[in-house]
Amino acid sequence: MKSFFRALSLVFLCSAVFSANGMEAEHKIDLVKVDKSARKMYLIQGNKIVRWYSISLGANPKGHKLREGDKRTPEGRYFLDLINEQSSFYRSIRINYPNETDSKRAEKLGFSPGGQIMIHGQKNGNGPHPSIKRGKDWTDGCIAIDNEEMDEFLSLVKVGTPIDIEW
């Protein structure tokens, strides 16, 4: 009987620890899915959406990124590969664009594929926010959310998580 109560106590203790950690302890995000046409980004665990965000994209959002400067957000399967705490846009996590296919396509077209595509917060510093001049889609090809959402995103999503981006 004592071992039963010890086991029960351990279960309650573990439950309290996991509850105190909030969503981070409850969710292991398996996939980030971006629907560019709906301007939504979903965090998925198994087959369940556990969180979603409204997003801003590149200023020319429709279609796959082909080259540096086209202001498009890439489409396809990528991975989140680096957190940047020194970003010009609050905090950020990099999408591993360009992949080998992107680089070969750009080379064939005679262009640089570009790079440094991130999910990031809002622009740091004073002055007008870029969206004032460029509208809802104001990035150069990145995916932007607000700073509080970026903090939550980075607490839930780990480096190495796949991201699917589609129109």
pLDDT at position 24 is: 45
Catalytic residues: 120, 142
Q: How many domains does the chain have?
A: 1
- For the chain, how big is the Rg over CA atoms in Å? 19
* Phi then psi dihedrals of residue 5, to 5 deg: -65, -35
Mean pLDDT split into 10-residue runs, the chain, 167 residues: 44 41 63 97 96 93 91 96 93 96 93 94 78 79 94 96 97
* Residue 20 included in any domain: no
Burial 38-57 (b: 16+ CB within 10 A, else e): ebebbbbeeeeebbebebbb
Pairwise CA distance, residues 124 & 53, whole Å: 20
* Residue 17 included in any domain: no
Hey, what amino acid is at 85?
A: E
pLDDT at position 128 is: 65
* Residue 12 included in any domain: no
pLDDT at position 21 is: 44
Let me know if 11 is exposed, middle or buried by CB neighbors in 10 A (0-12, 13-18, 19+): exposed
* Residue 91 included in any domain: yes
pLDDT at position 4 is: 40
pTM, two decimals, is 0.81
- Spatial CA neighbour of 96 closest among 144, 12, 29, 159: 159
Pairwise CA distance, residues 96 & 75, whole Å: 12
* Residue 21 included in any domain: no
pLDDT at position 19 is: 40
* Residue 23 included in any domain: no
Pairwise CA distance, residues 104 & 167, whole Å: 22
Give the CATH number, domain containing residue 61: 2.40.440.10
pLDDT at position 135 is: 73
Domain that holds residue 134: 28-166
pLDDT at position 7 is: 42
* Residue 103 included in any domain: yes
* Residue 11 included in any domain: no
The string of DSSP letters for 21-40 reads TTHHHH----EEEEETTTTE
